[in-house]
Structure formats: structure tokens, C-alpha cells
Amino acid sequence: MTEDSVKLAEVYHLLSPVRVAVLKDLGKLRVEGGWETYQRGDEASIPYWMAVLLEERGDVEVREPKLTDTDIGKYLMIERRMKGNSFHSLKERFYLEARELIRRLKEEGRENPENIMKAVRVEGNLSDIVRIRLRKILNAAFLSTKIDEITERLLPEERGLLLELSTTIQKWFDEVARVD
């Protein structure tokens, strides 16, 4: 079930819109609202998966800043300093973009070994962020208090996990504490 919610969150991110600048005439493309014509110079909102493919071809430029190794390091510092069960709001596609960044750094590492070291550092920082946030999610699920307030600052991947854990813990508790 958890694997399904993570995959569902990834699909959600891939389908979410992103702003792009159109660099070449693209003709008609199928988007959520139907068929749209995109010409050089247009500003448009298209699904993230399409933007990534078109950007790789040099057809568009994504207008949102890409997640960097420095960003991940900053997020880690912030998460480490957050008190109690507070969550810092991460970039909406944080986990997806972090995995893409690590893949890209590893690929670039074939020509520039310095990028392999960056990839290792980013992987370590990402793991630390996941562990810190997971600890907070587990605590929130256990306490089952103010879940609605907490979910506002969680990413879809984390929301799914929190809700699943909270439900499982509550069912377990109800069974164990049940008196017939």
C-alpha cells in the first residue's frame, strides 16, 4: 500500500503543471484541456513530464528554478533546526527532483569526477532529510493529534504515509485496548 501511494504521488508530480518558455515552434500538443498550439516565444503551462522531455530536446525552458545540491543542503540544515514536530515546507516536487538531480550528477560524473562526489553528498543529505522527516511523521502518526494541520506542510508522498500509519496505529490500538 505504501509503495502504491509513493507511485501515485510521483504520477501526481509528473502530471502537475509547470511554467515554460517555448523556444521553438512546437505545433499542436495534447494537454489537459485538449490540443494547444505552441509557438516560439509563448509562455505556457504544461505537465512536468512533458516539460522535462521538451527541455532535453531544447524546445522549451522550464521557468521554475531546478533543485540544486545547495538547495538540498539548505533544506537539511533547516530540518535539523526545526523543533518538535514542525515541518519545513519543501519544494512541491522535492523527492522527484532530488532523484533526478542525483541521476544527472552521476551521469555527468563520467566526464567530471567531481560530480560523483556531489552525487554522494546529495544522496547522504537526502537520506538525512528523509530520516528526520520520517521520525516526525512516525511521531505524528503515533500521537494522532492535529494531523490536518501537519499534512499542510507535507508532500504527497509523506501525507500518504502519515495517513496510512495513523490508521494502522489507531486500528491496532483499538484492538489491543478493546475490552469485551
Give tens-digit pLDDT for 43-94. Answer: 999 999 999 999 999 999 999 999 999 999 999 999 999 887 788 999 999 9
Please give the mean pLDDT across all residues of the chain: 91
| pLDDT recorded at residue 1 | 57
pLDDT > 90 fraction of the chain, expressed in percent and rounded: 64
HSE at residue 103, side-chain half, CA atoms within 13 A, is 6
148's grid cell:
490536518
Give tens-digit pLDDT for 15-53. Answer: 999 999 999 999 888 887 789 889 999 999 999 999 999
pLDDT band at 176 (very low <50, low <70, confident <90, very high): very high
Give the class (CATH, top level) of 69-176: mainly alpha
128's grid cell:
538525512
Q: In the chain, where are the structural domains located?
A: 15-62, 69-176
Q: What is the DSSP string of the chain?
A: -HHHHHHHHHHHHHHSEEEEEE-S--EEEEETTEEEEE-TT-EEEEEHHHHHHHHHTTSEEE-SPPP-HHHHHHHHHHHHH--TT--PPPPTTHHHHHHHHHHHHHHHTTT-HHHHHHHHHHHHHHHHHHHHHHHHHHHHHHHT-SHHHHHTTS-HHHHHHHHHHHHHHHHHHHHHT---
Q: What is the CATH number of domain 15-62?
A: 3.40.5.50
